[in-house]
Amino acid sequence: MTTLVAVVKQAFRKPWRLAAETSAVLIALLVAFPLYWMVLSAFKPAGEVRGDHPVPWTLSPSLDSFRRVFEQEDFGRYFLNSVVVAVSVVIVSALIAFLAATAVTRFRFRLRTTLLILFLAAQMVPIEALTIPMFFLMRDVGALNTLTSLILPHIAFSLPFAIWMLRGFVKAVPESLEEQAFIDGAGRARFLWQILFPLVFPGLVATSVFSFISTWNDFLFAKSFIISAPENSTLPMALLVFLDNETPDWGGVMAASTVMTIPVLVFFVAVHRRLVSGLGGAVKD
């Protein structure tokens, strides 16, 4: 009886599933289209990019746009600056966040909940609004026009979310492991760096994506703090240079955008599984 119901249901469902699957595929194509168009336009020869009838393919791919991008405006240097800034922020904030997340998950102490709420609230701060005081702060410590003026603020801005998200990963390490380590005579520092750190490391990498993206993305601080030292500028500034003209060089903009997007995309795809479980953890807690 049940099997009959199941069979009928199955037959009934088939057209529905077909419709669902078709729309899933169509939506996937639609969602992927902007990225496809970006890469495609980067490889199109200049004439086709500026053509009246844009077509979603090209028969004569060329590297001209990329060549223009890398030859103009010290693009390579900007790329390097962006990498230096993002990598510094990722490493420093990951280490600091790891320590802080350990403190709030593996210890009970007064003000713990208050601190957690503060970390949560800190994520809400509109960092763009802080550009004004941050500008004066950087000026007063003499960091304006240097990469430090980009690294310092981003460490501070990525910490609250990193701590919040890392909690789940630190919590997931069983406490019995900690007790075992102490019984075996490991000190607190040893447990922290040689046992807990390697176990939490994958989570640390996943969390880092967010600090990486927000730093990699930033053009506001770069625009406001790097005023008279163009050699210390970052990628987004170079991108905006291409865009700012009366007649933007779209091929160049798309090539530069492609160069800027690919590192993030690679990073993201590499860690996305942990990212999802980490977000799940952050959400559940």
- Residue with the two structure tokens 């037959």: 11
Minimum separation from the CB atom of position 82 to another protein (A)? 11
CA nearest neighbour of 217 among 253, 252, 260: 260
Q: Which of residues 24-43 bind another protein (CB under 8 A)?
A: 24-25, 27-29, 31-32, 34-35, 37-38, 41
Judged by CB under 8 A, does residue 8 bind another protein? no
CA dihedral 66, 259, 227, 211 (to 10 degrees): 180
| 3-state SS assignment for residue 153 | helix
Rounded to a whole number, what is the distance in angstroms from the first to the last CA of the chain?
44
In one-letter notation, the amino acid at residue 252 is G
Judged by CB under 8 A, does residue 142 bind another protein? no
Judged by CB under 8 A, does residue 130 bind another protein? yes
Q: Which of residues 229-268 bind another protein (CB under 8 A)?
A: 236, 239-240, 243, 250, 253-254, 257-258, 260-261, 264-265, 267-268
Quick one: 198 or 248, whose CB is closer to another protein? 248
Judged by CB under 8 A, does residue 175 bind another protein? yes
Minimum separation from the CB atom of position 194 to another protein (A)? 16
Instruction: Write the CB contacts of 70 (distance below 8 Å, at least 6 apart in sequence).
Output: 76
CA nearest neighbour of 33 among 54, 11, 2: 54
Judged by CB under 8 A, does residue 195 bind another protein? no
Q: Which of residues 90-119 bind another protein (CB under 8 A)?
A: 95-97, 99-100, 102-104, 106-109, 112-113, 115-117
Of 125, 142, 184, 198, the residue at the interface with another protein (CB under 8 A) is: 125
**Cα Rg for the chain, rounded, in angstroms?**
24
